[in-house]
Structure 1
């Protein structure tokens, strides 16, 4: 199956530096072929977990010094912090609606995935939601419902958009390995098995159908099999980190018609020449036995989010190098 985006597709992972949402929406609409709603964590309530908290309309959370926490009790009203997170998201959608007026094509949204939320958000009496099987199920189901509403809202505001939903799961490898610390710091939370991880993740993936979905995880051994079995249409990884075993899993996923979002441009340091950025991908593609023409289906991205870039100008340059790198990749696929 060919990519739904065509050859030479590019996008960003979501986070960007600075606080100017209007500027960044204009940039992503111009620079990448799959524009995305930027996340600007330099702003209060602009980080990925706060974004997700603003979507959880059926659960009440508040922001503590240690991070977001479920409030518990029978009062479903959102806290002041949760209302502020929601308000900021709606303001960002106002900017997107204005600047994307008349836009038709793919448009990507990012949200923290259910396992990373469970490993980050605290229960009312301490420790992570991850520690409570029922609580993490409720959190995932509430996320699925809130994301459904979010997708419908974006469709209303940008009716020509073909929506792509990215679930960010940086904590899932630690969840699977039993490496998430408990509140005391003296122990670790019990590991979650593969089928359990698939079950929770698939609830969120299925909730946004028919939107295209991908799961993003910048790790040396991202649980690609979990993502594939959960029904994700794509996987987003940092190519520079991958182990041999991870490359083997990528080969299986690509052969199963899963789209690879390949992080080829580093988030800091020297910005590579376009051909040099794409070269590691083309070399490893043949080494793992994949056909050269299938390179045309790969979407090129930065290695991860760009919030830590030294300046907005630097981050923009890293996004700009993606297009010529993708064109080089498309030419390679045709040769």
Structure 2
């Protein structure tokens, strides 16, 4: 039996009302809702702050330059942990009868290492030994997080862990700036990046979760993510250039059973909402890879191009509605 195409969000939403955010995703994304993230709530609700709240035996606080490791948890760490507990409480309340797939997001190890500073001020990415320690800490924290989620949602529900890795292309190219901003950190070799990411993804699978990696940069390392074991690859379809090498990587990913989470709905208000037929055309353009609409439908999840934190609340709702309607249109095209 073929899986029909689904729709979901990337993670973040505008505003500070977590109850309204949960109702929105469960109402508009019934087949694949996600745990909402509301960075407008302040320090600790941002992507990096949430990531630090998941770490085991690592602590961080906000300094003028950003999040930095510290000896012990302080006010910012407690805020991040409090926000996460609140979110899980609301999730438990809204998911009591839920039996489909629930997506949860966490910052990936390479993006976290590219942003988080060591105690002496340089980015963790400057020290690969520290990056490995960070990845181990994150892996243990994610296993605990997934176990906690399993307690809070019905047993029949499936969990899908999305790792957010917007900085990964820069890590591979050596374009991540130093903490001072005057230099660039050395590029990480692709096998090293793949191996470390693979370990985190394997731990999530061993914990019973499906996996996805999201990267909204134009040069998504599709082949690396596939070989690292990502079950889904999530990207902004409008930023992927049509070229032979890229098409080959996408085609190989689909043939290998990797799902594509295609960002086709604008993440901010375009002024005039695109027609569903136009959004569907973006998806069907992938038939150039040699797949039928039915094969694409089975492999595809429809999403906004990126997180919706910068959207107006009306557009955030409209974007999720359009994603769902585009998934329905794709299903009709495939039947």
Give the TM-score normalised by structure 2: 0.94
- Is contact 2:96–2:154 with CA below 8 Å preserved after alignment? no
Q: 2:198 aligns with which of 176, 196, 202?
A: 202
Q: Secondary structure at the match of 2:302?
A: strand
Which whole-Å deviations, capped at 9, do the CAs of 1:42-79 have from their partners, x for residues lacking one? Answer: 011211111111111311111112111112xxx5x422
**1:171-190, aligned counterparts within 5 Å?**
171-190=167-186
**1:47-196, aligned counterparts within 5 Å?**
47-71=46-70, 75=71, 77-160=72-155, 161-196=157-192
Q: Secondary structure at the match of 1:235?
A: strand
* Counterpart residue number, 1:31: 28
- Is contact 1:8–1:323 with CA below 8 Å preserved after alignment? no
* Counterpart residue number, 2:258: 258
Q: 2:56, 2:323 → 1: CA distance? A: 36
Q: 1:158, 1:31 → 2: CA distance? A: 19
Q: Secondary structure at the match of 2:158?
A: strand
Q: 1:51, 1:332 → 2: CA distance? A: 39
Q: 2:98, 2:41 → 1: CA distance? A: 27
Which whole-Å deviations, capped at 9, do the CAs of 1:8-35 have from their partners, x for residues lacking one? Answer: 3110000100011100101111111201
Per mean C-alpha deviation after superposition, the further-off stretch among 53-62 and 135-144 is 53-62
- Is contact 2:115–2:123 with CA below 8 Å preserved after alignment? yes
Q: 2:19 aligns with which of 19, 22, 25?
A: 22
Per mean C-alpha deviation after superposition, the further-off stretch among 108-117 and 159-168 is 159-168
Q: 1:249, 1:16 → 2: CA distance? A: 31
- Is contact 1:57–1:78 with CA below 8 Å preserved after alignment? no
Q: Which runs of 5+ in 1 are unaligned?
A: none
* Counterpart residue number, 1:303: 305
How many residues align? The count is 325
Give the TM-score normalised by structure 1: 0.94
Q: 1:300, 1:178 → 2: CA distance? A: 31
* Counterpart residue number, 1:293: 294
Which whole-Å deviations, capped at 9, do the CAs of 1:133-156 have from their partners, x for residues lacking one? Answer: 110001111001101111110110
- Is contact 2:50–2:81 with CA below 8 Å preserved after alignment? yes
